Chains A and B, each alone.
Chain A
Amino acid sequence: MLRTILIAVLAVAVIGTGYWGYREHQEKNAILIHAENNYQRAFHDLAYQIDLLHDKLGATLAMNSHASLSPALAEIWKIASEAHSDVGQLPLSLLPFNKTQEFLSQIGEFTYRTAVRDLQEEPLTKEEYKTLQGLYKSAGAIRQELRNVQHLVLENNLRWMDVELALATNDQKEDNIIIDGFKAVEKNVDTFSSSSEFGPSFIGLANEEKGFVRAKGRPVSKDEAKRIARDFLGLKGTEKIKVTESGKGADERFYSLTIHDPKTKGDIYMDITKNGGYPIWVLNSRPVGKPTISLHEAANRGMAFLKRHKFTGFELYDSTQYDNVAVLTFVKSENGVRIYPEAIQMKVALDNGHVVGFTARDYLSSSIPRPLPKPAITAEEAKKKLNPHLKVMEQRQAVIMNDLQKPVLCYEFLGTLGDDTYQLFMNASTGIEEKVEKLESVEPNYE
């Protein structure tokens, strides 16, 4: 009797466990399929977008009327952006797959610029046509490659999850059709990008690094770097300072300092250029207590700090209070002209008014030629070109970097329209609206 009961109980347990295991397995599969489907969608979508991209690029080559060219370029811009987003959803980040994304974003950039230009006034140049032809050719090659991969994926029921696994385990031995296919695409794009088919008009498009053009002077030693840090931060000399030099990948040589003072909580971190020993940035990680000074006072102290360290001709552009810390932005100002690319940001602790952060990266890497050009039109003429509904509150001259990453002298207007505040830059020689921004820095809390 007892035996029968025992057997029955065990049998139920075994069946129960089996069922539970089966359910678990089912659920896991469902989730895997879901993830796999997401990858598949991104991949097939990418293949489709590249198809479309190739066709549209081909069509633009045959177009002659400006009326049809501009919208076609705008459409290519949109397609390139969608393809770019598709690539970002594929598990390829462990693969050197940068070039394809870069290529897509360059197509986007190129077509955007040509699409927004008035092609009636300024038709495509010979070089730009050559670029378009080059893009068409490359897109064709990528399309062919992707179609091939797509075919193999569909034919052999290949799964992206396996790609992810192969990449994660770094399994090089086994051939993976998807990985090989994408490597071929990548190679193709690479040869295209490194050839100069984008033409001279494309120089400066890829975010090129300029380096610290302002950091001139003889190289300083590690000990000198320590001395510079002591002087800049007003240290007492009892602190322990660790200095390391930048690695080979850095655009410019610099020293990284970690300053540890046993008496205070939190270390101070700082980078100093090797050439000339300029402080690039400082961050003090100490906790900041309750505010005792105002934002205004903090801004004054920040300004005094700049003057003390020979950064002259700066004015406060923006100030913001985050809890117990003031974040300040100073910009260079010459004869009333604000030079926005030459900015220095600072953090001032509101508990004791000490500087706890400093960064001059923008200032050190700005190469705006001097003397500044003179405006060709008057402020009144520039003002006439503004939106008539805008109520202008402030105006001045300013230098900004425009869409093409070129410095331009502008008239800057601060104005209001309805409840919003806008910052507008009108080119001081042509009167073109270079940049319009809505200024908003306050967001309601959600609770």
Chain B
Amino acid sequence: MERKLVMLMLIGLMTWMHPAGHAAAFSPQVIQRGAVGDDVIELQARLQYLGFYNGKIDGVFGWRTYWALRNFQYEYGLPVDGLAGAETKRKLVNASKYYESFVKEQIRQGNEFTHYGGIPLSKQVKKRGGGGGRTVKTTASNVPKGFSQNDIRLMANAVYGEARGEPYIGQVAVAAVILNRLEHPSFPDTVAGVIFQPGAFTAVADGQIWLTPNETAKKAVLDAINGWDPTGGAIYYFNPATATSAWIWSRPQIKRIGNHIFCK
């Protein structure tokens, strides 16, 4: 009985000590700006431990992480290239600690937290009510310049409502038309302005825009925002089977994708 208790205590002690003793966890990849994931969380946490990084540990390698890494490389006599390669990671691991389970736990609970060295971890957490139960992943996302995640979602709604039955490229094309209108002097200059312009999109008029978009529609929007325009600069499109307006037929046509004809 007594032996059993000692065993249990030992196991308890081991699991309690475990996170602190934990070192090399980086995967072998070279981490560069724009990357997301566990390696970035570790990179940010370690840079913060040493005081180079003061931003949020969110798992997205943005500009703040970039400058922090470069400062670290400069101070530790490494080539300053902003890439976390093998040598940089080795020096970083040697110089810092990474309390992985602490960091992951805070992310899971959605708490605000920091990971500075020399301060007890318990003092670096600001608990948030509710939360919990989320999967451990990055708490931020890369977004294309000038667009928020909500803009992307709104566009995905429009694309899904308008073209969910179209091939993938047809969905990218509809998103591209929205973007071409933003640039065009004849149309409103905001995403919402273009989408909700009365009569501009049938999916808006009949409420199909409020269906929940799928991943494909979101991907199509992202491709269009990132520069893919399958339409060759179109600002109108119509379905020849259902179009009632004679005027739309008079527009110079560029090409047909799926069931839609795209025009100037």
Q: Is A271 an interface residue (CB 8 A)?
A: yes
Q: Is A49 an interface residue (CB 8 A)?
A: no
Interface range on chain A (Cβ under 8 Å from partner)? 35 or more
Establish whether residues B60 and A297, one from each chain, have CB atoms under 8 Å apart when the complex forms. no
Q: Is A341 an interface residue (CB 8 A)?
A: no
| A residues near B138, Cβ cutoff 8 Å | 445
* B-binding segment of A11-19, A130-138, A162-170: A162-170
| B residues near A239, Cβ cutoff 8 Å | none
Establish whether residues B187 and A101, one from each chain, have CB atoms under 8 Å apart when the complex forms. yes
Establish whether residues A96 and B247, one from each chain, have CB atoms under 8 Å apart when the complex forms. yes
Establish whether residues B230 and A271, one from each chain, have CB atoms under 8 Å apart when the complex forms. yes
B119 to chain A, nearest CB (A): 20
Q: Name A444's contact: one of B58, B183, B227 (CB within 8 Å).
A: B58
B226 to chain A, nearest CB (A): 5
* A74-99 to B contact mask, C-beta < 8 Å, 1/0: 00000000001100111111111011
Cβ < 8 Å to A, chain B residues 22-55 = 29-37, 54-55
Cβ < 8 Å to B, chain A residues 390-430 = 393, 416, 419-421
Q: Is A443 an interface residue (CB 8 A)?
A: yes
A76 to chain B, nearest CB (A): 16
Cβ < 8 Å to B, chain A residues 213-256 = 244, 246-251, 254, 256
Establish whether residues B254 and A250, one from each chain, have CB atoms under 8 Å apart when the complex forms. yes
* B232-264 to A contact mask, C-beta < 8 Å, 1/0: 111000000000111100011111110001011
Given the interface contacts A88-B188, A98-B186, A361-B227, does A251 sit within 8 Å of B29 by beta carbon?
no
Q: Is A439 an interface residue (CB 8 A)?
A: yes
C-alpha gap A281/B227 in the complex (Å): 10
| B residues near A63, Cβ cutoff 8 Å | none
Q: Name B232's contact: one of A250, A326, A445 (CB within 8 Å).
A: A250
| B residues near A359, Cβ cutoff 8 Å | 227-229
| A residues near B168, Cβ cutoff 8 Å | 266-267, 269, 283, 285
Establish whether residues B254 and A88, one from each chain, have CB atoms under 8 Å apart when the complex forms. no
| A residues near B67, Cβ cutoff 8 Å | 393, 416, 421
Q: Is B129 an interface residue (CB 8 A)?
A: no
Establish whether residues A92 and B263, one from each chain, have CB atoms under 8 Å apart when the complex forms. no
* B-binding segment of A194-202, A305-313, A314-322: A314-322
Q: Is A362 an interface residue (CB 8 A)?
A: yes
| A residues near B227, Cβ cutoff 8 Å | 345, 359, 361-362
C-alpha gap A293/B253 in the complex (Å): 42
Q: Is A299 an interface residue (CB 8 A)?
A: yes
Establish whether residues B232 and A444, one from each chain, have CB atoms under 8 Å apart when the complex forms. no
* A318-331 to B contact mask, C-beta < 8 Å, 1/0: 11111000110000
Which label, helix, strand, loop or mixed, suits the secondary structure of the A interface?
A: mixed
Q: Is A447 an interface residue (CB 8 A)?
A: yes
Establish whether residues A357 and B228, one from each chain, have CB atoms under 8 Å apart when the complex forms. yes
| A residues near B141, Cβ cutoff 8 Å | 442-443, 445
Establish whether residues A442 and B35, one from each chain, have CB atoms under 8 Å apart when the complex forms. no
| A residues near B186, Cβ cutoff 8 Å | 98-99, 101-102, 105
Q: Is B92 an interface residue (CB 8 A)?
A: no
What is the interface of chain B, defined by CB distance below 8 A to chain A? 29-37, 54-56, 58, 60, 62-64, 66-67, 70, 83, 110, 134, 138-145, 148-149, 167-169, 172, 183-189, 193, 197-200, 222-223, 226-230, 232-234, 244-247, 251-257, 261, 263-264
27 cross-chain CB contacts under 8 A: A88-B187, A93-B198, A99-B186, A101-B186, A207-B184, A247-B255, A247-B256, A248-B252, A248-B253, A249-B263, A250-B255, A269-B168, A283-B223, A285-B168, A285-B169, A319-B33, A319-B35, A322-B142, A393-B67, A419-B54, A419-B64, A421-B66, A439-B145, A441-B34, A441-B144, A446-B149, A447-B134
- Beyond A170-B244, A345-B228, 17 additional contacts (C-beta under 8 Å) are A85-B193, A88-B188, A90-B198, A91-B198, A106-B185, A247-B256, A249-B252, A250-B232, A281-B230, A319-B32, A321-B34, A347-B223, A416-B63, A419-B54, A440-B145, A441-B143, A445-B149
7 residue pairs, one from A and one from B, having the closest CB atoms: A249-B252, A294-B29, A98-B186, A105-B185, A91-B198, A88-B188, A421-B63
